[in-house]
Every structure is written in structure tokens, then in C-alpha cells.
């Protein structure tokens, strides 16, 4: 039986972000509807041809999207929320982009993270009497479009159970899965239309089948696939981001023609699967990492596939990436600045398909056609295990020597608190900000000019110092208690540090879609992390020299640096995280010597790193909090350690947040009107905390009364003498006038709280 080389999805943004530029051009009116669609068609054609050239036997379609694949399903299934009913004709790009981006009359649909990736999808909105109907022929059109080009594709759909579970139902107590029976007929119709167009296989993505499921979700899977059986098309049920684990029986019982498993994230025993799968079911093994950028160890993968072939007997076998390649950049060959040694270790989307194809050839007895790909893999592996750019003995020794004393402060929080009160002498309800101040065009332009070499170091330095002068003068005038230097020298909170650390590399074109037209270029952590010299002390020292009030130094935490990078896969993530922590530990010590009385270590991505399966949470939270403490616990008792978190809901990880043992945490809270505070009813947070009282993502500046109300609510569940007053997040995207207004209100709110508290005490 020949083994097929397949793909589950290709990045659609384009190697040079062509789709980003085109959609943004369309939104700004520079491009007509027809011009945007031409570019879309051109990209699909290019990507299909590229996959064919790579030697794939199965090429996906309907993996293209102008914004988001979940939004495409919303449009296809006719689940357009009522408020968009009169915008566009429901089938065109006007309605589509209105749902994604909102209009003056209709706010955008909610967006959230796609499982544990950095991709964000549009959250389907349902109501209890939700009506579904087949409302777009996108999947069929794209299948036919590829066929015209002579390419027979396997269309990709998000399966009905995952589609519902991804969504939210407005009116409780109904749950999204209650809508399954209404939804299934539309899926059946869609599948029949695909069959009529000539499709023989459809890839149906059900990532939830690899998550923790309750009884009702398991039932829903059974009902859904019983309901879709007999539609005349063969379904490849694709799971990813985790193994099946306890859902194995369920997955093997479903009446589908094939099952895709993520063999990078999951390690379900293939013999157990083989015992349960139907003898003619196709098995697709995701053996090439769809979420990271390292070249595979092809010899080891081949061996694994040979064993799988034994175990699976006569069943047709497909080789695939672990998940859609949406999460990796398009093509390594566009990189101009990576050195050869490092570049040889990497594989982006295109290179991953070449690996899949080489594996299939080797298994099909055409190994000689794949020889050079295998040789490259062997050479890389050797280089990765021996290169001294990757392995630094001093770093390894230092990590091995870390002991329990290195992750605890000198004294417990109550003792530190007294020392810090004496040292910092702050009023009740102390006010502060999260770190960055407005990054004006002038700041961005000057920084870019310096990076290009158009202005010299001295000029740049004095420019940043003038910004700091202004920032300090501003904060003193407004009346803030703990000041910041403003982060004018930083472009991005991870990149800034990554560029100063050994072990990090940066690409020219390693873009990955984050949401809609927004792309990110994650750094690559390729080797042992070391800090060759101090990274931030000069700015802190300067800022502190301008004022008698404490200036809080700013660092990005180890977990966040890990979470927002492509991380080496040749050692546990926890080891890499602790190496970053050790580098930051030295920076914390240097900042303290440079005169910092408060140091903030930001961990906005702590919650994002939480594993998908509950059984894995504790292990992660242990090493993540331990890394933070390794970075910070070098600080003496009198140095106040702050941390900051945002972008997530934190209620379910409060004990871990407490385990960071930061003296103060500032945490996003105002957007959800202090829902966060519910967590404090059951959990007594032991240290100081500043729940954000200004949602900096909203264009509105709240009044000081509104801020006071939020603080009063916080004071109803948290001791008044442990509350801080601060915004939700950094201010770099805001402009100076609104920052001035909002911070003036914020300081007024803190003063009101101080007065009302002293009245309570004297009463």
C-alpha cells in the first residue's frame, strides 16, 4: 500500500504578507473588491502549485481565508448575528469584514485565542433559537477553482462539535451543544454539495476531540458523526494540539473513514489504537511539527513511521504535519540575514512539506529520491547537538547548580513589607503605571533611524534621555507615587531583550498570522541563553537620577519570553525558561545595585502557556512560577518586586499567581468590570495588588468617580492597605493628552480612597 504525503492547511498570508497588504488596502479603500479577490485567487494558486511541487499527494483547499477560518464557517453556516443583518447582503465581503472588525452601528464579534496558539479566531455567537442555513459556497468554489488548475484537493472544514464548542450562547441556560441537531442538516447539505462538485475526501477538524470532554460533549461527538455518516464523502477526522488520551475509545468508535493524530504533542499508543480502529480506516500521522520551525530528525521519524506501518497493518497511512501549517512562516528561502549554520537547522512551511514528501518516498521504496533531504537532516542534527553556539557549558552548569534557596526571597512577604514601607515611604493606595508611556511618531522614527545607523549612539542616547526627562517631569506633576522611565527605547517587550541575549535569533520574514491582517514575527530561541552584559541599567540609572521618587525598573519575564518565541525543541521548555530566568536574575541584581527600589517583571503570557489538558496544569504552573522566582528572588528585602498580567482571565490560576510571591501585582481587571474580584472571595491573595481601573484598550477615558467606584469594589474583597491604583496595561499605544487626563483622574481616585479610608479609621 503506498503511503501518502499530505497537508492539513497552508499559511494563507503569503510569504511577503501579500494578503495582509491587500486586505488593509481594501479596508482603506485603495483596493476594489475585485482586486482583493484577484490577489486571494493568486495566492491560492501559488500555494496549491507549491504544494504540488513539493510532491504532496493530498493538498488541502478551503484553508484559505480573508480573515479567519472560524469566521468563514460562521458565514458558511449562516450564523451571522442579528446586528449585521442589514450590513451588506450577508454573502459578500462587506458583511464578512463587518463581523470581524465592527462598524459604527454594530460592534465587532469577539475574538479569542485558538487553543494554546497565538492565533486568534472570531468567536461564534449563538442564541437559543439559532437558525442555520448553508449561506456561502466558499468551500465548494475553492475546490472547483483548484480543480480548474488541475489540482484535486481535500477541502477542510471545522467539524460541527468543535464549531459549537468554540462559540458562545448568549441566552443561558442553553449551551452551544444544544444546537447540534439544528446544525447537522446544514453540514450534511454542505458535504453533499462537495460530493456533487467531485470531492471524495473532506478533512473535518475536531480539535476538541483531543481536549478534556464532559459526558455531553462525548455524546455530541457520537451523534454528530452518526448523523454525518452516509453523506457520500469520506471524512478524515483531524485532531491536533494534543493526544486523544481518554477520548481514544470515543474517537475510534466514530464512523469516519480516517483519523488524523498529532504525534508531536500526543503520544497515544499506536498498538492500542490499532486494536480499536476499523481495519480499513485511514490513519494520518502528524509527525512533522506544525507549530515550530525546527528541521525534523528524519531518521527517527522514519523509524517511528515504520513501526506505525507494522502496527497499523493493512490500513492506509498518510504522513502529515501535526496540525495546519498556519502557525509557521511560509518559506525559509526568503531569509537573508540568518547565518548558514542556524538556517540549516530550520524548516518553515515549504520545507516541512519537503520533509513530509521525503518521508513518504523513503517509506515507498524511493529512498534514493529523498537522500539529500535525509542527509541534510542528519547534518543538522549533528550540528545542533554539538555546536557551541547552542551549548554553553557555563550556562548548563549554572542551571544544574540551582537549588531551593535560589527560588525564595530572603524573608517572607510580611517581613519584606515592613522593610519596603520604611524604604519607599509610600502613601496608602499608591499610584503607578505599567511601564510604557506614549510612543509618539517621533520616538518610533528616531529609534528606527538609530537602528539603521542614520544617527549615532550619542545622539540617540540623548534623545531618549530627553524623553525620560519629560516623562519624569510629567509623572511628578500628575502626582504619581512610583514612577517609570517610559520604555521609549523599546520596540517590543520580547524583541528588546531577545536582541540583547545570546541564544536568540530574529528573522526577516518569519511572519505568522496572529489575527485578521495582523502578523507577528516571533524570535527564535535556538541556544543556551546568556546575558553578556547589563540590558537596562543605564536608562534606570538616568531616570532615577532625575527624581527623588522611586522609579520602577521594567523587565519582561521568562515565561512571557518563552511563550512569544519559537522555542528550541532539543531540551524541555522548562529548562529554556530557567535559563532566561537566570539571565534576568543577573539583571535584577544589577538594577538593584544601580539604585532601583522597585523592579517589575512582566508576565502577561503566564496564563497563555497553560497546557490544554487539566492533568498537565500543575506541572506547568510549578516550573513557570519557579522560573519567575528564580529571576526575582535575588532581590533583597527592601527591593519591591512587581509583576504585571493582562490579556487573559486569571481567576482560575490565582494560587499560582500568589506563588510568584511578587510584592505587588498589577493586573487587568476593568474591561470585565472587575470580574477578577470574584476570585478574591474564595482566595485570599496574600500580597499587594493593583486591579487595573482604566481599560487602556478602550478609547474612552473614565471619570475619577468611575475609577473610585471600581476601587471601592476592590476594597470590598481586598484589604485596603494592600491595594494599588494603576491602569490595566502599558500606555504606549495611547496619546499624551488622554494619558494626562486619565492619570489625573486616577490620582484623584486614589486620593478619594485615602480620605474615605482615614475617615473610616477616625469614625
Catalytic residues: 697
Q: How far is the CB of 518 from Zn ion (least distance, A)?
A: 17
Q: How far is the CB of 473 from ligand GLN (least distance, A)?
A: 19
Name beta bridge partners: 259. 237, 283
User: Is residue 435 a contact point for ligand GLN (CB under 6 A)?
Assistant: yes
Of 134 and 646, CB closest to ligand GLN: 646
149: which 3 cell numbers? 488548475
Q: How far is the CB of 119 from ligand GLN (least distance, A)?
A: 18
Calpha distance 439→587 (Å, rounded): 24
Calpha distance 429→665 (Å, rounded): 13
User: Is residue 646 a contact point for ligand GLN (CB under 6 A)?
Assistant: yes
CB 726 within 8 A of CB 434: yes
**Bond preceding residue 173 cis, omega within 30 of 0:** yes
Element (H, E) at 355: helix 349-363
Q: Which stretch binds Zn ion (CB under 5 A): 304-312, 515-523, 621-629, 727-735?
A: 727-735
User: Is residue 729 a contact point for ligand GLN (CB under 6 A)?
Assistant: yes
Q: Which of 260, 417, 732, 734 binds ligand GLN (CB under 6 A)?
A: 732
Burial class (CB in 10 A: 0-12, 13-18, 19+), 171: exposed
Of 626 and 669, CB closest to Zn ion: 669
Q: Which stretch binds Zn ion (CB under 5 A): 4-12, 68-76, 347-355, 729-737?
A: 729-737
Calpha distance 274→313 (Å, rounded): 8
Check residue 287 and report its DSSP letter: E
Q: Which stretch binds ligand GLN (CB under 6 A): 255-263, 418-426, 462-470, 727-735?
A: 727-735
- Residue 734: name its binding partner from ligand GLN, Zn ion, none (Cβ under 5 to 8 Å by kind): none
- Residue 493: name its binding partner from Zn ion, ligand GLN, none (Cβ under 5 to 8 Å by kind): ligand GLN
330: which 3 cell numbers? 511560509
Of 266 and 523, CB closest to ligand GLN: 523
Of 80 and 646, CB closest to Zn ion: 646
- Residue 582: name its binding partner from ligand GLN, Zn ion, none (Cβ under 5 to 8 Å by kind): none
Q: Which of 561, 729, 742, 749 binds Zn ion (CB under 5 A)?
A: 729
User: Is residue 657 a contact point for Zn ion (CB under 5 A)?
Assistant: no
Selection from 664, 623, 619, 607 nearest residue 641 by Cα: 664
- Which are the contacts of 382, defined by CB distance < 8 A and separation ≥ 6? none
Length of the chain: 763
Of 235 and 554, CB closest to Zn ion: 554
- How far out from the chain centre does Cα 152 lie? 33
Q: Write phi, then psi, for 718 (nearest 5 degrees).
A: -125, 140
Per-residue three-class SS string for 259-278? EEEECCCCCCCHHHHHHHCC
Q: CB count, 10 Å around CB of 73?
A: 28
Residue 258: strand, helix, or coil:
strand
Q: How many residues lie near Zn ion (CB under 5 A)?
A: 3
Q: How far is the CB of 733 from ligand GLN (least distance, A)?
A: 9
User: Is residue 723 a contact point for ligand GLN (CB under 6 A)?
Assistant: no
Q: Write phi, then psi, for 6 (nearest 5 degrees).
A: -135, 170
Q: Which stretch binds ligand GLN (CB under 6 A): 78-86, 359-367, 724-732, 734-742?
A: 724-732
Q: How many residues lie near ligand GLN (CB under 6 A)?
A: 13
Per-residue CA distances from 164 to 114, 182, 250, 293, 380 (Å): 14, 11, 18, 31, 43
Calpha distance 638→36 (Å, rounded): 59
Q: How far is the CB of 563 from ligand GLN (least distance, A)?
A: 12
- Which are the contacts of 116, defined by CB distance < 8 A and separation ≥ 6? 241, 608, 609, 610, 611, 612
- Residue 257: name its binding partner from ligand GLN, Zn ion, none (Cβ under 5 to 8 Å by kind): none
Q: Write phi, then psi, for 673 (nearest 5 degrees).
A: 45, 45
Residues in region 547-606 near Zn ion by CB under 5 A: 604
Of 498 and 604, CB closest to Zn ion: 604
Q: How far is the CB of 598 from ligand GLN (least distance, A)?
A: 13
Of 342 and 743, CB closest to Zn ion: 743
Q: How far is the CB of 602 from ligand GLN (least distance, A)?
A: 5
Q: How far is the CB of 67 from ligand GLN (least distance, A)?
A: 24
User: Is residue 621 a contact point for Zn ion (CB under 5 A)?
Assistant: no
Selection from 677, 673, 761 nearest residue 718 by Cα: 677
User: Is residue 730 a contact point for ligand GLN (CB under 6 A)?
Assistant: yes
- Residue 328: name its binding partner from Zn ion, ligand GLN, none (Cβ under 5 to 8 Å by kind): none
Of 261 and 493, CB closest to ligand GLN: 493
Q: How far is the CB of 647 from ligand GLN (least distance, A)?
A: 7
Q: Which of 260, 549, 644, 734 binds ligand GLN (CB under 6 A)?
A: 644
Q: Which stretch binds Zn ion (CB under 5 A): 12-20, 108-116, 319-327, 641-649?
A: 641-649
User: Is residue 493 a contact point for ligand GLN (CB under 6 A)?
Assistant: yes
Of 11 and 730, CB closest to ligand GLN: 730
Q: How far is the CB of 499 from Zn ion (least distance, A)?
A: 21
The β-bridge relationship of strands 566-567 and 552-556 is unpaired
Residues in region 32-91 near ligand GLN by CB under 6 A: none
Of 588 and 729, CB closest to ligand GLN: 729
Of 258 and 435, CB closest to ligand GLN: 435
Name beta bridge partners: 285. 261, 319
Alpha helices by DSSP H, 597-735: 617-632, 654-659, 678-682, 704-715
Q: Which of 646, 664, 674, 717 binds Zn ion (CB under 5 A)?
A: 646
What is the 3-state composition of the chain as percent helix, strand, coil, each rounded to the nearest 5? 50, 15, 40
Calpha distance 636→415 (Å, rounded): 12
Q: Which stretch binds ligand GLN (CB under 6 A): 7-15, 32-40, 434-442, 658-666?
A: 434-442
The C-alpha angle 190, 261, 164, rounded to 5 degrees, equals 40
Q: How far is the CB of 560 from ligand GLN (least distance, A)?
A: 8
Residues in region 587-606 near ligand GLN by CB under 6 A: 602, 604
- Residue 118: name its binding partner from Zn ion, ligand GLN, none (Cβ under 5 to 8 Å by kind): none
- Which are the contacts of 276, defined by CB distance < 8 A and separation ≥ 6? 248, 249, 252, 253
280: which 3 cell numbers? 480499513
Note the residues at the interface with ligand GLN (CB under 6 A): 434-436, 487, 493, 554, 602, 604, 644, 646, 729-730, 732
Note the residues at the interface with Zn ion (CB under 5 A): 604, 646, 729
Amino acid at each position: 500500500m503506498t503511503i501518502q504525503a499530505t497537508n492539513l492547511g497552508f499559511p494563507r498570508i503569503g510569504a511577503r504578507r501579500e494578503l495582509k497588504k491587500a486586505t488593509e488596502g481594501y479596508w482603506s479603500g485603495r483596493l476594489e473588491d475585485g482586486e482583493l479577490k484577484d490577489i486571494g485567487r493568486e495566492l491560492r494558486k501559488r500555494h496549491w502549485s507549491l504544494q504540488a511541487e513539493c510532491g504532496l499527494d493530498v493538498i488541502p483547499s478551503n484553508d484559505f481565508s480573508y480573515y479567519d477560518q472560524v469566521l468563514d464557517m460562521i458565514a458558511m453556516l449562516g450564523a451571522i448575528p442579528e446586528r449585521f443583518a442589514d450590513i451588506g447582503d450577508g454573502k459578500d465581503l462587506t458583511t464578512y469584514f463587518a463581523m470581524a472588525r465592527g462598524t459604527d452601528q454594530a460592534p465587532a464579534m469577539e475574538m479569542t485565542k485558538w487553543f494554546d496558539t497565538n492565533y486568534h479566531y472570531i468567536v461564534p455567537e449563538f442564541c437559543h433559537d439559532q437558525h442555520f442555513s448553508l449561506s456561502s459556497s466558499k468551500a465548494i468554489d475553492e475546490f472547483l477553482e483548484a480543480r480548474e488548475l488541475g489540482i484535486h484537493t481535500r477541502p477542510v472544514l471545522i467539524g460541527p462539535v468543535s464549531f459549537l464548542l468554540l462559540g458562545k450562547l448568549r441566552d443561558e441556560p442553553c449551551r452551544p451543544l444544544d444546537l447540534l441537531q439544528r446544525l447537522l442538516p446544514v453540514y450534511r447539505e454542505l458535504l453533499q454539495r462537495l460530493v456533487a462538485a467531485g470531492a471524495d475526501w473532506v478533512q473535518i477538524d475536531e480539535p476538541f476531540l483531543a481536549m478534556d470532554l464532559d459526558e455531553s460533549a462525548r455524546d455530541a461527538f457520537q451523534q454528530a458523526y452518526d448523523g454525518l455518516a452516509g453523506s457520500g464523502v469520506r471524512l478524515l477526522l483531524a485532531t491536533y494540539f494534543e493526544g486523544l488520551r481518554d477520548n481514544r475509545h470515543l474517537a475510534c468508535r466514530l464512523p469516519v473513514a480516517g483519523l488524523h493524530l498529532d504525534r508531536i504533542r500526543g503520544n497515544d499508543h499506536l498498538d492500542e489504537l490499532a486494536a480499536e480502529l476499523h481495519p480499513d480506516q485511514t490513519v494520518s500521522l502528524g509527525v512533522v511539527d506544525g507549530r515550530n520551525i525546527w528541521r525534523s530528525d528524519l531518521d527517527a521519524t522514519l523509524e517511528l513511521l515504520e513501526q506505525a506501518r507494522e502496527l497499523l497493518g493493512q490500513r492506509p497511512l498518510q504522513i502529515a504535519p501535526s496540525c495546519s501549517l498556519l502557525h509557521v512562516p511560509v518559506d525559509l528561502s526568503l531569509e537573508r540575514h540568518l547565518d548558514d549554520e542556524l538556517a540549516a537547522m530550520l524548516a518553515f512551511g515549504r520545507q516541512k512539506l519537503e520533509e513530509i514528501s521525503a518521508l513518504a518516498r523513503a517509506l515507498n521504496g524511493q529512498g534514493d529520491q529523498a537522500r539529500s533531504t535525509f542527509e541534510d537532516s542528519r547534518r543538522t542534527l549533528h550540528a545542533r547537538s554539538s555546536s557551541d553556539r547552542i551549548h554553553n557549558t557555563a550556562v548548563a552548569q549554572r542551571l544544574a547548580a540551582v537549588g531551593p534557596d535560589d527560588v525564595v526571597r530572603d524573608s517572607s512577604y510580611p517581613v519584606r513589607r515592613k522593610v519596603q514601607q520604611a524604604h519607599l515611604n509610600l502613601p496608602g493606595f499608591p499610584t503607578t503605571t505599567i511601564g510604557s508611556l506614549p510612543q509618539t511618531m517621533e520616538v518610533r522614527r528616531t529609534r528606527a533611524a538609530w537602528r539603521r545607523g542614520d544617527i549615532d549612539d550619542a545622539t540617540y542616547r540623548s534623545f531618549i534621555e530627553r524623553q525620560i526627562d519629560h516623562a519624569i517631569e510629567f509623572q511628578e506633576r500628575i502626582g504619581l507615587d512610583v514612577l517609570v522611565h517610559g520604555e521609549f527605547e523599546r520596540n517590543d517587550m520580547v524583541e528588546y531583550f531577545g536582541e540583547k541575549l545570546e541564544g536568540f535569533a530574529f528573522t526577516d520574514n518569519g511572519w505568522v498570522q496572529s489575527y485578521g491582517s495582523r502578523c507577528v514575527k516571533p524570535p527564535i530561541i535556538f541556544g543556551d541563553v546568556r546575558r553578556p552584559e547589563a540590558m537596562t541599567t543605564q536608562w534606570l540609572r538616568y531616570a532615577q537620577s532625575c527624581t527623588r521618587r522611586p522609579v520602577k525598573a521594567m523587565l519582561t519575564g521568562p515565561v512571557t519570553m518563552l511563550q512569544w518565541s519559537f522555542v528550541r525543541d532539543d531540551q524541555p521548555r522548562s529548562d529554556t525558561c530557567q535559563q532566561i530566568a537566570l539571565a534576568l536574575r543577573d539583571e535584577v541584581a544589577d538594577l538593584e545595585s544601580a539604585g532601583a527600589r522597585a523592579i517589575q517583571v512582566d508576565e502577561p503570557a503566564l496564563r497563555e502557556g497553560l497546557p490544554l489538558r487539566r492533568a498537565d496544569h500543575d506541572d506547568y504552573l510549578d516550573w513557570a512560577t519557579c522560573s519567575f522566582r528564580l529571576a526575582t528572588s535575588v532581590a533583597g528585602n527592601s527591593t519591591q518586586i512587581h509583576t504585571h498580567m493582562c490579556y487573559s482571565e486569571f481567576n482560575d490560576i490565582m494560587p499560582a499567581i500568589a506563588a510568584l510571591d511578587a510584592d505587588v501585582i498589577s493586573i487587568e481587571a476593568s474591561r470585565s468590570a472587575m470580574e477578577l474580584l470574584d476570585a478574591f472571595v474564595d482566595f485570599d491573595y496574600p500580597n499587594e495588588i493593583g486591579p487595573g481601573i482604566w481599560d487602556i484598550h478602550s478609547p474612552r477615558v473614565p471619570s475619577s468617580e468611575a475609577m473610585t467606584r471600581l476601587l471601592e469594589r476592590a476594597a470590598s474583597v481586598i484589604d485596603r492597605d494592600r491595594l494599588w491604583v494603576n491602569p490595566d496595561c502599558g500606555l504606549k499605544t495611547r496619546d499624551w493628552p488622554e494619558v494626562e487626563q486619565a492619570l489625573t483622574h486616577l490620582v484623584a481616585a486614589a486620593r478619594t480612597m485615602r480620605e474615605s479610608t482615614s475617615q473610616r479609621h477616625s469614625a
